Chain A
Amino acid sequence: MKKKMLAVAVCVSMCMMAFAGCTSESGGGSDKKAEQTEGKKEESGKVFMTVSNQQNEFMVGMAENFKEVGEAAGYEVQLMDADLDATKQVSQIETAISENAEAILVEPCSVDGLTTGLKEAHDAGIPVFVIHNNVSATDLVTSLIHVDVRQGGELKMEQVIKDCGEDAKIAIMTGTLGQDTTNQICGGYDAVLEKYPNVEVVFEGAGNWGATDAAPLAENWLASGKEIDAIVCNNDGMALGVVSVLKSAGKSEQIKVYGLDATNEGLKAVDSGEMAATIYVDSKAEIEKAFEMLEDLKAGKKVDAEYKVPSVLVTKENVKEYMK
């Protein structure tokens, strides 16, 4: 019984603390003071970034670049992961707004899904830089900064045809369908393929950016018994999944694999010949540009509504330049 009473006492005191907490936070002069000092602290600047996911090396690398570049520029940085959920990403933008962010970097997981959050940031006067992918509500964001992956797709497909010939039989593994990056890269492919009508696209399927989905898809393609000269993947994460499938099927010699992003693992695979080529996508340059623009804005300068970082083809010949 005593124990029970003690428990009740503890609970009651906690509850009183809760109410005490409420009242002291929600009103009174001391509260305002606290907010003011906080406001001052925030002037030194907190920059938020919400990324679509942290599921592959490239995205983890982008997050690291954000922290590194942001801190070097003298900001407090904070990363949020939307876990491929547009609703969550909208919430994260709202969180950043309520934290009086100096700027918000968004690597969107949906082209059309973030409008609500972007509008709120726009109304709050917080600069928003959309990194790497596109959004449709371009009028609500400060600038779109992305690597020209469409051009990367073109460069890569040119290389595929150079390697496998004008009558190559290829399989295309795309990122998540409907995402702008997927559409951009595949648009680059299509632009090249139009020029070579004899190239046959044997398969086209979504590997959703990761080895988890890419490996079974590649296995199914191999199981079909159809002849394939090259598997062209929208990113390195999927390409590496394909590489391991080819290895265990003993088909590494016959089928060439192409990636995109030039992640560390991807570069190693190009160096060892497991992958034929990848495209260097400089996420650090994207982030650097965003912070550069933020400085420009603070200095009262205007910034471009769009900035494209050029992409570079990486093959065995030049891979050493990009390896860390």
Chain B
Amino acid sequence: MKVLSKNSVMEFVKKTAILWVMIILILILSVISPSFFRGQNLLNIIKQASITGVIGVGMTFVLITGGIDLSVGSVMALSGTMAASVAVAEKNMPIALVILVGVGLGALCGLINGIGVSYIGFPPFIMTLGMMTIARGIPLVFTNGTPIFGLSEEFNMIANSRVLGVPSLVIFLVITVLAGHIILSKTVLGRRIYAVGGNEDAARLSGVSTAKVKLFVYVFCGILSGIAGILICSRITSGNGTVAEGYEMNAISAAVIGGVSMTGGSGNVLGMVVGAMILTIIQNSFDIMGVNSFYQNIIKGIIILLAVFLDLRGKKKKN
């Protein structure tokens, strides 16, 4: 009995290693800079991690199938900018329609990615690289490079309001993460997603429609990119074709730090959220401490490598 509980503690610590890394990081930073550990600042951090977290959920799904989606940042720009331009097209434009346009465009991009990967046979890297470039170009052409502003109060409220004192961005994060976590851990679809990433041939032979599963993850990732696009444009109260440049890399970094394997088959959404938090904590604390932002890149890179190193070592031991 005693041995069993010890083992389960070990297992728990191992499973949640990245969480402890974050807690230790928070502790160290709180000592170095007392103003870091303040309620408002901690809330700021969660808020600032929200957008990365939302796209990170979609990215986690794609990565677990062994794929990758490089188009996330561009699809955000496309969805957000087009939603913004619909929002200003007419007075009293219903906000539901605006959201539908943004999310719909995201879903469409995801659908094209999914068809390209599942049914045509493009490698995910190539397919989404193409989509990344296309989806970046469209809003720039459409707006001729100039930002759209004068958005309605309703639109700006999406990311900048509070519900019972909680910033709306955080609510979006929580809902997305919960949904993602439930799909992955509690549904048949979730098990199939892991199966496709673990061993695609085996999954196919056991009757899983691997093409459909892959199509789903790209569409899901596209939808979340669409939502994130609306969020980012709402947060900066303007639509701009240049927003979210490089955000796909933030999402990939968050997922990888959180233990999602680039070769597919393992990882989960909760780890990714911790990864996103760690990235934001570095940014936030360096800003507070006045460390040159160039160092942030170096530290981020080291943390990514370190996280994957721990992951690799853990796997070797298991085998």
Binding site for B on A (CB under 8 A): 4-5, 7-8, 11, 14-15, 17-18, 21, 25-26, 34, 38, 54, 78-81, 83-88, 90-92, 94-95, 98-99, 110-116, 136, 176-178, 206
CA distance A95 to B288 in the complex (A): 7
Q: How large is the interface on B (under 10, 10 to 19, 20 to 34, 35 or more residues)?
A: 35 or more
Q: Would you call B100 an interface residue if the criterion is a C-beta within 8 Å of the partner chain's C-beta atoms?
A: no
Closest 6 CB pairs of A and B: A113-B236, A112-B238, A177-B145, A81-B293, A112-B149, A78-B290
CA distance A88 to B160 in the complex (A): 15
B32 nearest CB across to chain A (Å): 13
**When the two chains form their complex, are residues A4 and B293 in contact, meaning their CB atoms are under 8 A apart?**
no
8 Å CB contact of A21 from B37, B40, B146, B238 = B37
Given contacts A11-B13, A92-B287, A136-B149, contact A98 B44 (CB under 8 A): yes
CA distance A88 to B240 in the complex (A): 15
8 Å CB contact of B287 from A85, A95, A110 = A95
Excluding A81-B293, A110-B236, A112-B236, 8 further A-B contacts by CB distance (< 8 Å) are A4-B10, A18-B27, A25-B30, A78-B290, A86-B240, A91-B48, A94-B47, A112-B240
A91 nearest CB across to chain B (Å): 5
Task: Name 20 interchain pairs, CB-CB below 8 A, sorted by A.
Answer: A14-B24, A18-B23, A18-B27, A21-B30, A78-B290, A86-B238, A86-B243, A87-B244, A90-B236, A91-B283, A98-B35, A98-B38, A98-B40, A99-B288, A112-B237, A113-B236, A115-B237, A177-B146, A178-B145, A178-B242
**When the two chains form their complex, are residues A83 and B237 in contact, meaning their CB atoms are under 8 A apart?**
no
**When the two chains form their complex, are residues B287 and A80 in contact, meaning their CB atoms are under 8 A apart?**
yes
**When the two chains form their complex, are residues B293 and A54 in contact, meaning their CB atoms are under 8 A apart?**
yes
- The majority secondary structure among interface residues of chain B is helix
CA distance A86 to B292 in the complex (A): 18
By a CB distance below 8 angstroms, the chain B residues around A34 are 34
By a CB distance below 8 angstroms, the chain A residues around B13 are 7-8, 11
CA distance A177 to B242 in the complex (A): 10
Q: Would you call B6 an interface residue if the criterion is a C-beta within 8 Å of the partner chain's C-beta atoms?
A: yes
8 Å CB contact of B10 from A8, A25, A83, A90 = A8
CA distance A26 to B37 in the complex (A): 9
CA distance A7 to B39 in the complex (A): 31
By a CB distance below 8 angstroms, the chain B residues around A85 are 245
Q: Would you call B152 an interface residue if the criterion is a C-beta within 8 Å of the partner chain's C-beta atoms?
A: no
By CB atoms of chain B within 10 A, which of A7, A38, A83 has the most? Answer: A83
Q: Which residue of A lies closest to B140 (CB)?
A: A177
Q: Would you call B309 an interface residue if the criterion is a C-beta within 8 Å of the partner chain's C-beta atoms?
A: no
Given contacts A11-B13, A78-B290, contact A99 B35 (CB under 8 A): yes
CA distance A92 to B290 in the complex (A): 11
**When the two chains form their complex, are residues B20 and A17 in contact, meaning their CB atoms are under 8 A apart?**
no
**When the two chains form their complex, are residues B35 and A113 in contact, meaning their CB atoms are under 8 A apart?**
no
Q: Would you call B147 an interface residue if the criterion is a C-beta within 8 Å of the partner chain's C-beta atoms?
A: yes
